[in-house]
Amino acid sequence: MTDRFLAILENARTASVELARTSTTVKNAALNAVAAALIANSDRIVAANADDLARGKSNGLDDGLLDRLRLSPARVTSLADAVRDIIALPDPIGEVLRGSTLPNGLQLSQVRVPFGVVGAIYEARPNVTVDLAAILIKSGNVAVLRGGSAAESSNAVLVDVIGDALEASGLPRAAVQSIDEFGRDGAQRLMNARGYVDVLVPRGSAALISAVVSDSSVPVIETGAGVVHIFLDESADLDMANDIVHNAKTQRVGVCNALEALLVHRDAAERLLPEILARLDESGVTIHADDRTHAIFPKSVSATEADWGHEYLSMDLAVKIVDSLDDAIEHIRRYSTHHTDSIITNDMANAERFLADVDSAVVMVNASSRFTDGGEFGFGAEVGISTQKLHARGPMGLPELTSTKWIVRGNGQWRR
């Protein structure tokens, strides 16, 4: 490690000690200062973002990534609002999860404590810089961020603005730091900074997440790519299905909870698909269809095996007609990334079966997959949506950014 890189990690560890013992009142005041600073520096942030967008276009970034990258004044305001939402949430630190008094008089309590230093590696998402900073500060953690070259100008300004607000509030500037200046080498070093970094969270493409999981010696909380399915069973209401599918696919395409694959029961296909697919087509969605779907909607293109299980992050949708609920569940089991899957149905027995048998972080009935989000779930911002099963699963809010420790209080007991 270069001296500069090592200094960032050492400063982060020092800051983590102070953050861990910082009161809720002080943390909330700092977050309020961050929100105000974002609004006050909106023009500066948007100008830096314009540089990133121009560079991204010249480098051939696709529309989905450009959408993720873009910060408008309205989006900056939304980021500030999300920071304020976190202020209103309960502080998990110090919460007693369980406890008891042993027969010998020892008093035991298990309490929530911060992880310490949390590293994050993500791509083309300057909003994540703010979300991570805010949720980590509230949970008493320190952030070391690698936001990627695509958003380097935006992230540099955001980290500077956040740092100024923290210092003005009496908290260490090192509570939120960026290692973007070190490029890919910095990301690799962060993955191997065991002893300095307590937990690493990757957010981005399946390739990025896989690389971090494979190469890191630091414990990783795996946030997953979103190959999201919606299944329309034979009882699905057309109007409901049409609105949910259109929303899930088109509201924002470059996000992990956007719809990527639509499954339709054969007995409902002729009734549902013409109107649903025509609306998607009018909105600019390319339909990648199996043979039976193509016969119903000839404007589609033929799907290949690569379309099933593909996270498009674009105006593309794979569509397949299946013979039964069992076939739909089996298809999801084979191709899902275990992020979010939904069924549209008026048959509650089918709904309960789907909820029980689909093994994803979030399973829905009659709802758009776009609701899989920490903010929508009432968690404020989120670190990511975990698709693993250890420690945390689904949108990761404040409690998921904590560990625990046991506190034992005695009055002279010794073990016999």
389: pLDDT confidence band, cut at 50, 70 and 90?
confident
Highest mean pLDDT among 66-70, 253-257, 273-277, 309-313: 273-277
Q: How confident is residue 164, by pLDDT bands cut at 50, 70 and 90?
A: very high
Residue-level pLDDT at 414: 92
Assess whether pLDDT exceeds 50 at residue 56: yes
Q: Indicate the range of 62-76, 296-310, 336-350 predicted with least confidence.
A: 62-76
How much is the pTM?
0.82
Does any domain span residue 377? no
Residues 271 and 327 both lie in one domain: yes
- Give me the phi and psi of 291, to 5 degrees please: -60, -40
Asked if residue 404 belongs to a domain, the reply is yes
Total domains present in the chain: 2
Residues 69 and 19 placed together within one structural domain of the fold: yes
Q: Is 362 part of a structural domain of the chain?
A: yes
Sequence-distant (6+) residues with CB within 8 A of 60 are none
Which pLDDT belongs to residue 105? Answer: 95
Q: What mean pLDDT comes out for the span 156-169?
A: 98
- CATH number of 339's domain: 3.40.309.10
Confidence of residue 397 (pLDDT cuts 50, 70, 90): confident
155 versus 211: which is more confidently predicted? 155
Say yes or no: 40 and 159 in one domain. Answer: yes
Q: Is the pLDDT of residue 320 over 60?
A: yes
**Which pLDDT score, from 0 to 100, does residue 68 have?**
84
**Is there a single domain that holds both residue 186 and residue 283?**
no
Supply the range of the domain harboring residue 361: 228-371
Q: What is the pLDDT of residue 2?
A: 54
Q: Is 219's pLDDT higher than 70? A: yes
Tell me whether residue 257 is in a domain: yes
Residue 53 placed within a domain = yes
Q: What is the pLDDT of residues 122-139, one digit of tens each?
A: 988 899 999 999 999 999
**144 and 50 in a common domain:** yes
* Statement to judge: residues 135 and 232 lie in one domain: no
Residues 204 and 257 in one domain: no
What CATH number is attached to the domain comprising 151? 3.40.605.10
Indicate if 103 and 235 belong to the same structural domain. Answer: no
Residue 376 lies in a domain: no
Does residue 131 form part of some domain? yes
Examine the domain organization and report whether 149 and 237 are in the same domain. Answer: no
Looking at the chain, the whole-number percentage of residues with pLDDT higher than 90 is 82
Give 290-308 pLDDT, tens digit per residue: 999 999 999 999 999 999 9
* pLDDT exceeds 80 at position 206: no
Residues 181 and 98 in one domain: yes
Q: Are residues 141 and 289 in the same domain?
A: no
The reply to whether 414 falls in a domain is no
On whether both 294 and 219 belong to a single domain, the answer is no
Angle between helices 325-335 and 348-357 (to 10 degrees): 30
Comparing 265 with 204, the larger pLDDT belongs to 265
